[in-house]
């Protein structure tokens, strides 16, 4: 079955450590997105990518980094520069062009700093 | 700048109809989505509008006016399970930036 897979579902990080969240899709979608959601809040855009080897900063990119070496994969690294990383992270993808009738979401990664 | 506004909270009665409004200001417009999200879960797709008018899908309908930067989600025959957050999102610009409003928490009571 096609879809988006995020891993791990839960992640614990010590202060000062970098961690990488995985996002893989087999939908052949060009566009991929990373969001952060804090309790009771909406989704805020971190980074997004339309094509391989290209990506744009979203509204809250500071303290995060991404790569897009393959169409299927869009990993997000939460660096030690992100001062408040505890949140729910969601990855999404949409097909390119006028057929983009739905944004598909992974099941999310809940990151906690300990 | 880019902005999407929706009411923070709404309440409604089981069996009734509720309309959730969304206004947006973006650089360009490539489409508008509505999603439902239950606490702790990923959003689930409800509707997509790219042309003006009403899209109906079962108990849910979504309306778009591009000239007014306005959309609404209409939920009919409300059920208790419809208690959730409803997210409005707009795709805009040449890079298809997809941004979300803060969401509307809907509480359905008996």
What percent of chain B has pLDDT above 90?
88
Query: Six-digit token pair at A56?
Result: 């744009």
Taking contacts as CB-CB distances below 8 angstroms, the residues of chain A near B89 are: 43, 103
Instruction: Give the helix/strand (H/E) hosting A9.
Output: none
pLDDT score at A97? 61
Mean pLDDT for A93-114 is 82
- Where chain B has pLDDT below 50, the residues are none
Query: A72 to chain B nearest CA, in Å?
Result: 18
**Are the C-beta atoms of residues A45 and A60 closer than 8 Å to each other?**
yes
Q: What's the rounded Cα separation, in Å, for the pair B71 and A27?
A: 28
State chain A's mean pLDDT as an integer: 92
- Reduced to 3 states (helix: H, G, I; strand: E, B; else coil), residue A99 is helix
Contact A92/B at CB under 8 A: yes
Contact A112/B at CB under 8 A: no
> What single string gives the DSSP state of each residue in A11-30?
EEE-TT--EEEEEEE-S--S
Q: Which of B24, B42, B91, B104 would you mutate first to test chain A, the one with the most A CBs within 10 A?
A: B42
Q: Does position A68 have pLDDT exceeding 70, yes or no?
A: yes
Count of CA atoms in the C-beta half-sphere (13 A) of A14: 1
Contacts of residue A58, defined as CB under 8 A and 6 or more positions apart, other chains included, come to A33, A34, A44, A45, A46, A47, A48, B97, B99
**Are the C-beta atoms of residues A78 and A65 closer than 8 Å to each other?**
no
pLDDT score at A1? 65
A vs B, Cβ pairs < 8 A, gives: 63
pLDDT score at A95? 81
Q: Does position A35 have pLDDT exceeding 60, yes or no?
A: yes
pLDDT score at A63? 96
Query: B17 to chain A nearest CA, in Å?
Result: 24
CB contact under 8 A, A102 and B33: yes
User: Which pLDDT band holds residue A99 (cuts at 50, 70, 90)?
Assistant: low
């Amino acid at each position: 079955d096609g879809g988006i897979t995020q891993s791990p579902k839960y992640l614990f990080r010590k202060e000062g450590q970098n961690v990488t969240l995985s996002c893989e899709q087999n939908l052949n979608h060009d566009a991929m997105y990373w969001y952060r959601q804090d309790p009771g809040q909406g989704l805020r855009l971190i980074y997004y990518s339309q094509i391989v080897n290209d990506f744009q900063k979203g509204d809250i990119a500071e303290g995060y980094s991404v790569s897009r070496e393959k169409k299927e994969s869009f990993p997000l690294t939460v660096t030690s520069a992100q001062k408040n990383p505890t949140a729910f992270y969601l990855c999404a993808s949409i097909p390119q062009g006028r057929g983009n009738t739905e944004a598909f979401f992974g099941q999310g990664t809940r990151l906690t700093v300990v | 700048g880019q902005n999407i506004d929706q009411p923070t909270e709404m309440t409604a009665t089981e069996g009734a109809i509720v309309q959730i409004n969304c206004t947006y200001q973006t650089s360009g417009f490539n489409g508008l989505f509505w999603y439902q999200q239950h606490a702790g879960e990923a959003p689930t797709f409800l509707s997509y509008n790219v042309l003006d008018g009403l899209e109906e899908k079962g108990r849910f309908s979504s309306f778009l006016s591009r000239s007014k930067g306005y959309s609404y989600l209409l939920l009919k025959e409300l059920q208790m399970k419809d208690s959730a957050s409803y997210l409005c999102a707009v795709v805009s610009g040449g890079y298809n930036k997809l941004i979300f409003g803060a969401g509307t928490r809907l509480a359905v009571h008996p």
